[in-house]
Amino acid sequence: MKRIKKILLVTPPYHSGVVESAGVWLNLGFVYIAGSLRAAGYEPEIYDAMSYWHGYEDIQKRIIDSMPDVVATTAFTAEVVDALRVLRLAKEINPEIVTVIGNVHPTFCYEEILRESHEYVDFVVRGEGEETMVELVECINEGEDPAKVRSLAFYRDEEVVVTPPRPFVRDLDRLPLAWDLIDWPLYKYKPMEGSTLAIVSSSRGCNQQCSFCSQQLFWKRKWRGRSPESFVSELEYLRDTYGVNVVMIADETPTLSRSRWERILDLLIERDVGIKILMETRVDDILRDEDIMWKYREAGIDHIYVGVESTSQETLDRFKKNIKVEESKKAIDLINEYEIVSETSFVLGMPDDTVDRFRETVELAKFYNPDLAFFLAIAPWPYSEIYSELKEYIVIKDYRRYNLVEPVVKPKNMTLEEVSYELGRASREFYMYKLENLDSMTLKKREFMIKVVNLIATSSYLAKAMKGEIPEEIRKILQSLEIKR
């Protein structure tokens, strides 16, 4: 068998119109995996077919031109169908290509994947991929049994073989990254002209237990942080080498350790890094950090997402969010007070939801007053804790629609069509409200809101909903802002 040398890492060409409206985002996981493969002497390539908006003919051409020994792809639940199609295409081009899939959905649904798709899926990487990918390639090259490689699943002798899990990488600072393999001009943050956008990681893991989320399972409620010095130095490197001027911190909870996070803020201020930072964190961490919110602003934190998820305490408790409704309001007020863009989301479409509850949520969202609010359909990930509770209400089995946009769960007293309509109406009502109140915003927030509503109304999954019945006074505002309808 030919020795493996070249590995092509391909993002599947899946789009739902959610994140694309705000920017073009690189795949950070591939930067880490490519870095580890190259450090071990292999030749990785990163092909971001998703961000290029390439179709399967383009992907076919790239695989033929590259002639890789391995094609590896990645999949959260909504993109797993397309990810599997990429691997099937690779096998059709050359049956000798070794095919690999990883990320959250394959980590937990490897049995289903391998039972149904083993003819073109050779290996599933479960959990973190850096060490597993390197060991897998070395094992194949040495002609040894892949069962010796931890955190794998594969199909053999009509059975799914699952190897023991490997420990998490303890020292994140030591992992090499292949930033030079990124096609930097591709990645932009749309609300910011002249932007070069990077996705970065300061920590991995989440110690929370939100019942609808995949992260607590993937990370086993463990958390590890990089050293502040290593993380801030990486931002300086990206700025100086590639002209990066805006970053999205990919961490679920970058602020979990107050002392570590404050050290990061202090270094960003002392070194005058000057990069705009987008991030998410928890409501309770914002409340905890009330006395240092000024450091957030001075360090360049420009946009904070906090997951409110519901305006009902009963639903929050059901989601195991471990926060109170009134705390969410206070956290958003704090973010706004320091002129940082505030963003949140509300998860709707639970079995007991009604039209009235949807509309009450919109009114409460206005009261919370985040700059951005997204009204999302509950997505019953098949491995989530809440799945068993929702299972009997799931009426759509197509994973491509498990994207938080298209409802797949039917409430007891609503049709799916009603859920879709109310989600669209919620967004339209909220953003019309924001436009009506532009005069109450600071100049910075007003300019941001104008740009964002333009993007939402013209190039996001909400574009159709935003073109509904718009009051004449709002239409005039849109026209005055030169938003093309």
Mean pLDDT of 293-313: 85
Q: Mean pLDDT of all residues in the chain? A: 89
Class of domain 6-162: alpha beta
pLDDT in tens, 59-90: 999 999 999 999 999 999 999 999 999 999 99
Query: How far apart, in Å, are the Cα atoms of 417 and each of 159, 194, 239?
Result: 41, 40, 46
Q: For residue 217, what is the enclosing H or E element?
A: helix 215-218
* Cα separation, 152 vs 401, whole angstroms: 27
* Cα separation, 463 vs 92, whole angstroms: 37
pLDDT in tens, 402-435: 998 999 999 999 999 999 999 999 999 999 999 9
pLDDT value at 347 more than 60: yes
CATH of domain 307-336+343-438: 3.30.750.200
* Cα separation, 58 vs 56, whole angstroms: 5
pLDDT in tens, 143-180: 999 999 999 999 999 999 999 999 999 899 999 999 99
Strand (E) positions, 250-292?
276-281
* Cα separation, 423 vs 367, whole angstroms: 18
- Proportion of the chain above pLDDT 70, given as a percent: 87
pLDDT value at 208 more than 70: no
- CA-based max dimension of the chain: 71
Q: For residue 8, what is the enclosing H or E element?
A: strand 6-10
Residue 472: per-residue pLDDT: 55
Helix 258-270 / helix 228-242 crossing angle, nearest 10 deg: 40
pLDDT value at 401 more than 90: yes
Residue with the bigger pLDDT between 339 and 310: it is 339
Mean pLDDT of 183-206: 93
Q: How confident is the model at residue 202 (pLDDT cuts 50, 70, 90)?
A: very high
Residue with the bigger pLDDT between 107 and 472: it is 107
Residue 484: per-residue pLDDT: 40
pLDDT value at 478 more than 80: no
Residue 204: per-residue pLDDT: 84
Q: Are 364 and 315 within 8 A, CB to CB?
A: no
Query: How far apart, in Å, are the Cα atoms of 49 and each of 11, 55, 57, 73, 83?
Result: 5, 8, 11, 11, 11
The yes-or-no answer to whether 6-162 and 188-306 have a common fold is: no
pLDDT value at 479 more than 50: yes
Q: How confident is the model at residue 326 (pLDDT cuts 50, 70, 90)?
A: confident
Q: DSSP secondary-structure letter at 168?
A: P
DSSP bridge pairs for 7: 44, 70
Residue 483: per-residue pLDDT: 44
Residue 120: per-residue pLDDT: 97
Query: How far apart, in Å, are the Cα atoms of 228 and each of 199, 233, 264, 298, 394?
Result: 17, 8, 5, 17, 44
Q: Are 68 and 97 within 8 A, CB to CB?
A: yes
Q: For residue 359, what is the enclosing H or E element?
A: helix 355-368
Phi and psi angles of residue 463, each rounded to the nearest 5 degrees, phi first: -55, -45
- Proportion of the chain above pLDDT 90, given as a percent: 71
Q: Are 462 and 483 within 8 A, CB to CB?
A: no
CATH of domain 188-306: 3.30.750.210
CA 271-371-443 angle, 5° bins: 70
pLDDT value at 197 more than 90: yes
Residue with the bigger pLDDT between 358 and 211: it is 358
For the chain, which residues make up each domain, given as ranges? 6-162, 188-306, 307-336+343-438
Structure tokens at 335: 């973010």
The residue among 460, 404, 17, 407 whose CA lies nearest residue 213 is 404
- Say how many Å lie between the first and final Cα of the chain, rounded: 58
pLDDT value at 219 more than 60: no
Mean pLDDT of 468-476: 53
Mean pLDDT of 90-119: 96
Cβ neighbours of residue 184 closer than 8 Å, sequence gap 6 or more? 196, 242, 243, 244
Full-prediction pTM beyond 0.75? yes
Q: How confident is the model at residue 310 (pLDDT cuts 50, 70, 90)?
A: low
pLDDT value at 211 more than 50: no
* Cα separation, 294 vs 299, whole angstroms: 9
How many residues in total does the chain contain? 485
CA 99-105-111 angle, 5° bins: 70
Q: Are 224 and 204 within 8 A, CB to CB?
A: yes
pLDDT in tens, 232-285: 999 999 999 999 999 999 998 899 999 999 999 999 999 999 999 999 998 999
